Homo-oligomer: A and B are copies of this chain.
Amino acid sequence: MRQNIKRLILLMHCPDQKGIIAAVTNFINSRNGNITYIDQYVDRLNGAFFMRVAIESMNNSINFNTFKSDFVKEFSSSLNLKCNFYQEDKLPKLGVFVSKYDHCLYDILTQQRSGKLKCEIPFILSNHIDLEYIATQFDIPFYHVPITKETKQEAEIEQLRILTKHKIDCIVLARYMQIVSKNLIDVYPSKIINIHHSFLPAFPGAKPYHSAFERGVKIIGATSHYVTEILDSGPIIEQDIARVSHEHEVLDLINRGQDLERIVLLRGLKLHCDRKIMVYNNKTIVFT
């Protein structure tokens, strides 16, 4: 079957070596691909090469499956290359996990509806029912999966069942407030995005605004990152900050911080959904 594609995103990395760009661009040219974006990055410390290429098929003349398998055949051993291809018209399916805070959830839903956040949202999942009304407002299925210390394991099995059923590509923890366990992380490596309400690595863990207030900082921050097994230590995607002063009490920090949280999470999500991020050695390479 012939697959008609419009635009293909290639994310690749390999050991740094001479002639990679020429080789890859030659290949794409020879297959009638039109390169509309190309950016590369060389990690000299680790001798690693990274590239993002956007390829347009002229007159839909590229057969995606053939192109992809030929590309892998050509380069996977010769360049020792690892790559991922994404069709731009196949939107990633995003599972949204929330708890009781509505600000990040509202931003995700409204930006997705406006077409700014390019993904599908098959469901919202929460350990509480407080935000179910927003799911209803936006006509999205809502799963209530309560979690207690005792039921955590069962709850995660239920979560995995829901995620699998909806063929979820990535998960966003939109102020989910629960620690996600290894079982889930292993199934979605570099595919679970969290928003932490501090400028990591400052103030990891619980109640960062209280700690920021205690320390008397003049700037607060928020950090979106991929979730790994070590709490608040995964690859950082995006960060931003806001000025505060001695006049701000904890509640003021929380209020100012929530504006940061929604913006920083959304930026991270957009970068992920637009296939602009590669993860390497617990860091992100972000092609902008």
Contact = CB atoms under 8 A, between A and B. Distances in A.
A205 interface: no
Interface in A25-54: 25-26, 29, 34-36, 38-45
A114 B128 CA distance: 17
B41 A247 contact: yes
Contact of A29 (B18, B36, B111, B219): B18
Interface stretch (A70-78, A84-92, A152-160, A237-245): A237-245
A231 interface: no
A286 interface: yes
A249 B283 CA distance: 13
B200 A217 contact: yes
A157 to B, nearest CB: 33
Contacts of A110: 102-103, 106-107, 110
Nearest to A235: B216
Contacts of A240: 219
Contact of A218 (B38, B39, B238): B238
Interface string A257-288: 01100010010000000000000001111101
A236 interface: yes
A249 to B, nearest CB: 7
Contacts of A218: 236-239, 286
Interface in A114-133: 114, 116
What interface size band does chain A fall in? 35 or more
A215 interface: yes
Nearest to A23: B22
A138 interface: yes
B241 A215 contact: no
A201 B215 contact: yes
A137 interface: yes
A112 B200 CA distance: 30
Interface of A: 18-19, 21-22, 25-26, 29, 34-36, 38-45, 102-103, 106-107, 110-111, 113-114, 116, 137-138, 199-203, 215-219, 221, 235-241, 245-247, 249, 255, 258-259, 263, 266, 282-286, 288
14 contacts: A21-B22, A21-B38, A22-B22, A26-B26, A102-B114, A106-B114, A107-B110, A110-B110, A199-B199, A200-B202, A217-B239, A219-B240, A246-B283, A259-B266
Sort A-B residue pairs by CB-CB distance and give the 4 closest, nearest first. Answer: A216-B283, A202-B202, A106-B110, A22-B25
